[in-house]
Structures are given as C-alpha cells and as structure tokens.
C-alpha cells in the first residue's frame, strides 16, 4: 500500500453565502485541508463538525452533521464542495439534503441555489488570525 501524497495544509473561510433563511449561520465557518489531503468543516468558533478523508475527486460531500454554527437552533447541515483551488473554495449547502451537482446552475425564473464561497486564509499560519483576535480582545478587556 502506497502512502498518501502530501499536500500543503490550507484553510478557507466562508465569507459569501446565498440561499435559504439559515445562510448567515455559515459565515465565518472554515474548511481546513491537512497535509494528508483530509478535509475538516469547522464551525465559526473552530469546532470540528465533519471530516472527509482524502476525497480524491471534486465535487464531494462532507458527511452531514447537526450543529448551531452561527445561530441559536441546531440544524442538520449538508455541505458539498464543488470547486477547490489555492485561493478559493465553492460549494452548495442545505438543511434538508445535498443539492444535485447539475442543479447548481439555475434558470432566471428559479430561486438561486444555496451556495457558499470561501476564501483562502492568508495568515502566516493557519489559526494565527484567531490567536491575534483573542489577543486583541484580551488587551482591550484589560485596558
């Protein structure tokens, strides 16, 4: 058995979301890819919610999970990744199931699909921005 190919660890932060009434809960969630090519979906506070072991092909579905994310009510989330590059990641989302890949394109008479776009974290280290934010909060609290 050959070892997995190593990839550059990277994190993308969901910044743009379209769709249903729960769209805002995905903002600031993160998707992390480790050196083995495994992906983790992390909530806005960094909690791992789903893991996909080196999917190999895109598109791929992350396992469904139940969480509050950025809201007050727990919901089941279905996240599909449809595009990945070094700068951004895109996909679809739902609370009732996965969207069919061909349904990502819609006609003008239809509602737009539930989509998201994440931008690559440009920090020096993955997680460094969160550490910096915590330091600023601590400094302002003690001032």
Q: 16-44: per-residue pLDDT in tens? A: 999 888 999 999 999 999 999 999 999 99
Give 37-92 pLDDT, tens digit per residue: 999 999 999 999 999 999 888 999 999 999 999 889 999 999 999 999 999 999 99
The secondary structure of residue 87, as a DSSP letter, is S
pLDDT given for residue 81 in this prediction = 95
Nearest to 81 by CA among 122, 112, 37, 47: 37
pLDDT value of residue 15: 95
pLDDT at 141: 46
**Cis preceding linkage at 59, omega within 30:** yes
Model pLDDT, residue 76: 95
| Separation of alpha carbons 18 and 21, rounded Å | 9
Q: Higher confidence at residue 70 or residue 101?
A: 70
* Distance of alpha carbon 110 from alpha carbon 102, whole angstroms: 14
Residues 6+ apart with CB under 8 A from 143: none
Mean pLDDT of 4-12: 80
Decide which of 15 and 112 is more confident: 15
Using the predicted structure, report yes or no on whether residue 98 has a pLDDT greater than 50.
yes
Q: How many CB atoms lie within 10 A of CB 46?
A: 12
């Amino acid at each position: 058995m050959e070892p997995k190919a190593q990839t550059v660890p990277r994190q993308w932060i969901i910044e743009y979301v379209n769709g249903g009434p729960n769209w805002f809960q995905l903002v600031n969630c993160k998707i992390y890819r480790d050196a083995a090519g495994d992906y983790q979906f992390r909530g806005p506070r960094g909690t791992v919610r789903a893991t996909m072991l080196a999917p190999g092909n895109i598109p791929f579905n992350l396992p469904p999970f139940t969480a509050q994310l950025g809201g007050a009510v727990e919901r089941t989330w279905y996240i599909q990744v449809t595009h990945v590059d070094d700068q951004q990641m895109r996909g679809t989302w739902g609370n009732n199931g996965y969207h069919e890949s061909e349904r990502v394109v819609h006609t003008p008479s239809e509602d737009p699909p539930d989509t998201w776009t994440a931008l690559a974290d440009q920090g020096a280290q993955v997680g460094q921005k969160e550490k910096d934010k915590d330091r600023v909060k601590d400094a302002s609290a003690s001032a």
